[in-house]
Structures are given as C-alpha cells and as structure tokens.
C-alpha cells in the first residue's frame, strides 16, 4: 500500500535525490526594461535548469530509488507529454536499466529525439497524454514492468516538493508562489510542504485555458474529465487529474488561474529577452499569469514564480 504524502517524505526525498539532481538557482527579476506591473519584488525559481530541462527529474529519481532493485530487471515504463519521460529516461540511465516511454502524438519531435539520446525506447500512441497512458499501463501489466506515474504517486510528488524546501531556504519571507499545473503532481508536492512549513504562503496554480483540468474539477467539487484539450502547451494537457492530487490541491492550493497559449508565448519571449532564460510554454505559464493580470499579488508581496521547464517553443 502506498504511503500518504507527508512533509517527512519530502524531506527524505531531498536526501535521497541530492547527489542525482541539481539545486537550482533562485534569481531576482531585476534590472528590467519591461517590469511586470504590480510585481515589485519578483523572484524566479529556475528549475528549467534542472537535469533534462525540467523539475521532473526530482520526482522520477525519487520514485525509481524507492523500487527494489530486483523489480527493475525488466526496466521501467511510463507515459509522458515529454518532460516526465525525459526524467524517467535519465533515472533509468542513472540506474543502468531500460526505459520505455509512451508519448502522445502532440509531443514535440525534439523531446522524442532527446529521449532516444538518453537510451529510452520511444512509442507514439494516442492524440493526448491520457491515451498514451492507457497504452503504457497495458504494456506495464503485460511485461510486469514498474510503471512510473507522472503525477499520481507519493514518491514522485515528494520529489517535486523538494523545490519548496529550496525556495524557503533562499527566500524565507516569500509571500506567494506560482506553480504551473498539468496533472497536479508538482503543485501537490509543493503546496503540501508549503502549508506544513509556512501556512501563510499563498500557493497559486496556473493552467492553460485549453486544459483547465483542476479548475474544472474544483468548481464541480469532484474530478471531471475534460472532453477535449486545446493547448500547444502539451505538458499542461491531461484531460483528468487523479484523486490523490485532487484531494491535496483542494486542501492546500489557494487559487487556480488560467492563461492562454498566446499569453504563455509572450511570457516566454519576456523571459528570453529580460532574463536570458529559454522556457517552454508551460515553463512560462507563471509569468503569463502575472503579466496578463490573471493573478494580481497583494501590494508589496514577495512573489516567487516557478519556471518549471526549458524549451524553445515559446520563442521560436
């Protein structure tokens, strides 16, 4: 039986993954030509500089290290919009075991190429992540391979929650933390740890208008499956979350706002011009929320925006 996510799990994850992932920098958004209105004290947590280019390495490594070595002989398997797959491929390379990654057809070719460079076997299946995931689960069951879920797993969420520990060490007086949401694993780990350590911190989730998975579920008071998703930010595009994530987010996240693809692209271009940071659309979602006014922080708030993934789709 899986344990419930806890602050102790997040702290244990930090020790377990420390030698395999990077402690990413926290940078002030200063000396700007085009400052963001209402954000006089803005900081960027650059997990786009993490191994494989996103925060996902934290959770994937923590999960893989929780699996008994005898169970890894056949390798590991997952489904991903790209970033989690890269993290699993990295973790498998680290452990010297095979990795099979199912990708939906909306995954950018560059991510499939990077997966192959990490030694993973890539299988394309379905139009969106949910369809790729169904195929991966069937394969995992038939081949008796450990399946590494991208968001509905306590060890994965605990790994992602280590970001919060780093932010609090570097910016102990932070008032607000903005986090992009796909399936909800990242914000689950971060928000649970935040509310355990600093209950006054505002945790603001950011989703794409074309994939408001968690916002729709919270509004309905139950998990809902979106009939379709319509966003170029494919890493923010599952049609449905999981109960473990929904329960944590309902308790620990203060608000969820929506941004358009165009707003994410404008934010990615801002990050590139002002900060020299190449963020994919999902990685720029938190800046898009601030630039667009979808979220307006209180006056004089110390705000941290998580830049969760690297890429060139926002600036190409």
What is the DSSP annotation of 213-277? HHHHHHHHTS----S----S-GGG--S---HHHHHHHHHH--EEEEE-HHHHHHHHHHIIIII--
Residues 6+ away with beta carbon under 8 Å from 263: 288, 291, 292, 294
* Same-domain status, 196 and 298: yes
pLDDT for the residue 316: 73
pLDDT value at 74 more than 80: yes
What tens digit of pLDDT does each residue of 162-173 get? 999 999 999 999
- The Cα 298–Cα 302 span in angstroms is 9
Report pTM.
Answer: 0.95
pLDDT value at 235 more than 90: no
Is residue 211 within 8 Å of residue 230, measured between CB atoms?
yes
Give the number of domains in the chain.
Answer: 2
Averaged confidence pLDDT in the chain: 96
* Same-domain status, 238 and 165: yes
Structural domain harbouring 303: 7-54+153-307
Domain boundary among 83, 111, 143: 143
316 occurs within a structural domain: no
* Same-domain status, 36 and 180: yes
* Same-domain status, 69 and 119: yes
Q: Averaged over 74-95, what is the pLDDT?
A: 94
Domain boundary among 143, 178, 199: 143
Q: How confident is the model at residue 299 (pLDDT cuts 50, 70, 90)?
A: very high
Range of weakest confidence among 19-28, 104-113, 173-182? 104-113
pLDDT for the residue 70: 94
* Same-domain status, 96 and 232: no
- The Cα 238–Cα 245 span in angstroms is 13
180 occurs within a structural domain: yes
* Same-domain status, 115 and 221: no
* Same-domain status, 66 and 29: no
314 occurs within a structural domain: no
* Same-domain status, 91 and 176: no
Residues 6+ away with beta carbon under 8 Å from 135: 79, 102, 123, 125, 126
Q: What is the CATH number of the domain that holds 70?
A: 3.40.50.1100
189 occurs within a structural domain: yes
- The Cα 151–Cα 60 span in angstroms is 10
pLDDT for the residue 106: 82
């Amino acid at each position: 039986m899986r344990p419930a996510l806890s602050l102790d799990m997040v702290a244990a994850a930090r020790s377990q993954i420390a030698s395999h992932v990077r402690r990413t920098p926290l940078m002030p958004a200063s000396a700007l030509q085009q400052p963001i209105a209402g954000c006089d004290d803005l900081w960027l947590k650059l997990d786009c500089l993490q191994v494989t280019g996103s925060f996902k390495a934290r959770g994937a490594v923590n999960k893989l290290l929780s699996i008994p070595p005898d169970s890894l002989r056949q390798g590991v398997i997952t489904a991903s919009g790209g970033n989690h797959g890269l993290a699993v491929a990295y973790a498998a390379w680290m452990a010297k075991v095979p990795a099979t990654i199912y990708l939906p057809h909306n995954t950018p070719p560059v991510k499939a190429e990077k997966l192959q460079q990490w030694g993973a076997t890539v299988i394309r299946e379905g139009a969106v992540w949910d369809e790729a995931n169904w195929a991966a689960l069937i394969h995992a069951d038939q081949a008796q391979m450990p399946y590494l879920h991208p968001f509905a797993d306590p060890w994965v969420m605990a790994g992602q929650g280590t970001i919060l520990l780093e932010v609090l060490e570097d910016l102990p007086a932070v008032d607000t933390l903005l986090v992009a949401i796909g399936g909800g694993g990242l914000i689950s780990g971060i928000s649970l740890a935040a509310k355990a350590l600093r209950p006054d911190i505002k945790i603001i989730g950011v989703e794409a208008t074309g994939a408001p998975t968690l916002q729709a579920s919270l509004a309905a008071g139950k998990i809902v499956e979106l009939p379709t998703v319509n966003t170029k930010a494919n890493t923010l595009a599952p049609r449905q979350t999981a109960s473990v994530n929904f329960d944590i987010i309902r308790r620990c996240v203060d608000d969820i706002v929506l941004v358009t693809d165009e707003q994410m692209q404008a934010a990615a271009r801002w990050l590139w011009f002002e900060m020299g940071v190449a963020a994919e659309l999902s990685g720029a979602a938190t800046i898009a929320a601030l630039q667009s006014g979808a979220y307006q922080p209180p006056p004089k708030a110390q705000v941290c925006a998580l830049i969760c993934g690297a890429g060139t789709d926002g600036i190409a």
